[in-house]
């Protein structure tokens, strides 16, 4: 998979390599900001990004006090999908796995923190079968939001 990287701005509090975030869209103050094109225009609402490099340039921000210039890439998130859909490169309509077992060892991949409850995702890597206590045929994959 070719990682597309973008230069953007993030809060000085989160400008650390490895920091992962979901872009939830611009604040109203962003619409007239001179940094809008580099800060938010390249990011897609609902997509997950990871800071891969901190460039260190600091600018004032009406929303976050200060922002730091960073390089981000779209982050692949580990998730569980029905085994019949676990094909690398496939775009699927993803839904979190709902089984009622909140204490299950697979709960973090069945209900990943950074993915919406449902939506289109692309499977970028198949990691292997999961042992589901309810015998649901599931496979652990890495996905990106489409």
The domain boundary, picked from 15, 43, 74, lies at: 74
As a whole number, mean pLDDT of residues 16-23 equals 95
Same domain as 87, residue 70:
no
Same domain as 137, residue 107:
yes
Selection from 136, 127, 146 nearest residue 78 by Cα: 127
Q: How confident is the model over 58-72, as pLDDT tens digits? A: 999 999 899 999 999
Same domain as 128, residue 87:
yes
Q: Residues with Cβ < 8 Å from 54, sequence gap 6 or more? A: 15, 16, 17, 68, 69, 70
Same domain as 12, residue 70:
yes
Range of the domain at 43: 5-74
Over the chain, what is the mean pLDDT? 94
The domain boundary, picked from 51, 74, 97, lies at: 74
Same domain as 133, residue 82:
yes
Q: How confident is the model over 71-92, as pLDDT tens digits? A: 999 999 999 999 999 999 999 9
Same domain as 70, residue 82:
no
| Domains contained in the chain, number | 2
Same domain as 56, residue 19:
yes
The domain boundary, picked from 74, 105, 129, lies at: 74
């Amino acid at each position: 998979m070719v990682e597309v990287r973008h230069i953007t701005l993030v809060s000085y509090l989160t400008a650390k390599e490895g920091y992962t975030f979901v872009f939830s869209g611009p604040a109203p103050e962003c619409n007239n900001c001179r940094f809008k094109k580099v800060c938010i225009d390249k990011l897609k609402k609902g997509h997950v990004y990871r800071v891969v490099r901190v460039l260190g340039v600091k600018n004032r921000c009406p929303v976050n006090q200060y922002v730091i210039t960073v390089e981000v890439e779209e982050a692949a998130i580990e998730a569980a999908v029905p085994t019949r859909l676990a094909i690398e490169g496939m775009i699927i309509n993803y839904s979190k796995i709902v089984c009622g077992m909140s204490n299950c060892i697979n709960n973090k991949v069945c209900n990943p923190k950074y993915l919406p409850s449902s939506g289109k995702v692309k499977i970028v890597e198949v990691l292997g079968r999961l042992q589901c206590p309810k015998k649901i045929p599931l496979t652990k994959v890495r996905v990106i939001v489409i």
